[in-house]
């Protein structure tokens, strides 16, 4: 009996120490407290539609088999190419420039201002330094210390492939304001960003920054960075209304009527960055299938769309190039912008992006 008690107390002590260590591990961020929102139920944010996230035993078995498949095209056979960004080019206000930086990260220059969206520049979307899920491109299209001053960092939610501790540490001194969904500011504050530079918004709320208006809009997803903070912070899509153009950023999430509602309220949009990647029929409610992304594009009434949430990490079981290939097949080619990482696209009709991933796909077949 005494041995059992000793063992029990030892395990309890180990659990307490482990919990304390994890609580102090900065990349995890910090769970927010005392939030108020009509979207909070018993301390957790809720989607507008029921959004199940449970896997059956058959799902787990099938995923295990696919994970062990050595012939998969889930990763490219070589590092993806990047196009270096020239930040010495004068930032004018006559047209909008957008640079896709891999996955969901973007740099936007519009109306004389510069914005980063979901800037995840780390090697792997994980809080652990030894994680193996490495970025497909060896380099970024710029050196982090070469970034210009950033007027706005816009975040859609707190998952590791969108919000990265090391990235925030590297760029925060260049940033005027962080605009984030409700509760996400708690992570930033723990990482040294002053509260005066953080703007948090709930669904339906707005924020004016100079000539830009930001609208925090619904998404159908979830949040969390540890075992104890699932849905403690809000996830969102964002509408950005500028002098020049109207932009929409979907963030992550499953399909729903919110896309049409956003299009009816704020569209038509000149540009929409829409999640298209890391989908699977086993989690259809939190990530859109390609046909749903195409429908979301129609719903928001955008002129051009950029497929995002692909081209950087393996977070699903589809071929790494499938998101882009699907989009150019489902929508008119002239509507879909598919730049290389770092390649500039503009909203003045002068783009001629290619199906560049097919060259790498062909290499896999040789």
The domain spans of the chain are 74-355
Between 29 and 347, where is the model more confident?
A: 29
Report the pLDDT averaged over residues 178-207.
98
Nearest to 251 by CA among 268, 279, 272: 272
At 216, give phi and psi (nearest 5°). -80, 115
Contacts of 308 (CB under 8 A, 6+ apart): 100, 103, 104, 106, 250, 273, 274, 275, 276, 277
Q: How much is the pLDDT for 59?
A: 86
Whole-angstrom Cα distance, residue 251 to residue 239?
11
CA distance 36 to 43: 9
Percent residues over pLDDT 70 in the chain: 92
Q: Which residue has the higher pLDDT, 155 or 54?
A: 155
What was the pLDDT predicted at 8? 35
Q: Which of 85, 87, 120 is nearest to 102 (CA)?
A: 120
DSSP string, 159-190: -TTT--HHHHHHHGGGEEEEEEETTTHHHHHH
pLDDT of res. 120: 98
Query: Residue for token digits 């799902």?
Result: 59
pTM (two decimals):
0.92
CB atoms within 10 A of CB 199: 17
Is residue 213 a contact partner of residue 241, using CB atoms and an 8 Å limit? Answer: yes
**Amino acid 11: pLDDT:** 35
Looking at 2.60.120.10, 2.60.40.2580, 3.40.50.720, 3.60.15.10, the CATH number of the domain 74-355 comes to 3.60.15.10
Burial-class residue 322 by CB neighbours within 10 Å (0-12, 13-18, 19+): buried
Computed over every residue of the chain, the mean pLDDT equals 91
* Confidence band for 269, pLDDT divided at 50, 70 and 90: very high
Mean pLDDT across the stretch 84-106?
88
CA neighbor of 335 nearest in space, from 309, 298, 299, 308: 298
Of 118, 265, 129, 111, residue with least CA distance to 203: 265
List, in order, residues 6 or more apart from 132 with CB less than 8 Å away: 124
Taking alpha carbons only, the member of 201, 204, 306, 331 closest to residue 250 is 306
Q: What is the pLDDT of residues 65-89, one digit of tens each?
A: 888 887 789 999 899 999 999 988 7
pLDDT digits (tens, 9 = 90+) for 334-360: 999 999 999 999 998 788 899 999 999
Reduced to 3 states (helix: H, G, I; strand: E, B; else coil), residue 81 is coil
């Amino acid at each position: 009996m005494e041995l059992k008690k000793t063992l029990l107390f030892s395990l309890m002590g180990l659990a307490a120490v482990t919990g304390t260590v994890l609580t102090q591990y900065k990349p995890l961020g910090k769970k927010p407290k005392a939030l108020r929102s009509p979207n909070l139920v018993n301390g957790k944010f809720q989607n507008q539609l029921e959004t199940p996230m449970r896997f059956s035993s058959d799902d787990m078995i099938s995923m295990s088999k696919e994970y062990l498949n050595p012939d998969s095209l889930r990763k490219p056979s070589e590092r993806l190419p990047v196009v270096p960004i020239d930040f010495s080019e004068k930032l004018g206000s006559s047209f909008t420039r957008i640079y896709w930086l891999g996955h969901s990260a973007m740099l936007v220059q519009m109306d004389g201002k510069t914005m980063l969206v979901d800037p995840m520049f780390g090697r792997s979307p994980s809080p652990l330094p030894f994680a193996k899920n490495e970025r497909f491109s060896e380099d970024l299209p710029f050196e982090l210390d070469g970034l210009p001053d950033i007027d706005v960092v816009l975040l859609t939610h707190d998952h590791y492939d969108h919000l990265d501790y090391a990235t925030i540490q590297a760029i925060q001194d260049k940033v005027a304001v962080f605009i984030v969904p409700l509760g996400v500011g708690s992570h930033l504050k723990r990482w040294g960003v002053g509260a005066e530079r953080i703007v948090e918004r709930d669904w339906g709320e707005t924020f004016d920054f100079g000539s830009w208006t930001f609208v925090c809009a619904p998404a159908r997803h979830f949040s969390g960075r540890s075992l104890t903070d699932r849905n403690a912070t809000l996830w969102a899509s964002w509408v950005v209304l500028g002098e020049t153009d109207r932009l929409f950023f979907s963030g992550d999430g499953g399909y729903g009527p919110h896309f049409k509602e956003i299009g009816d309220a704020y569209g038509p949009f000149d540009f929409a960055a829409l999640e298209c990647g890391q989908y699977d029929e086993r989690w259809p409610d939190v990530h859109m299938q390609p046909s749903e992304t195409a429908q979301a594009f129609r719903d928001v009434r955008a002129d051009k769309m950029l497929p995002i949430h692909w081209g950087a990490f393996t977070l699903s079981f589809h071929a790494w190039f499938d998101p882009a290939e699907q989009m150019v097949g489902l929508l008119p080619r002239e509507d879909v912008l598919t730049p290389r990482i770092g390649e500039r696209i503009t909203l003045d009709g002068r783009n001629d992006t290619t199906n560049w991933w097919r060259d790498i796909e062909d290499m896999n077949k040789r």
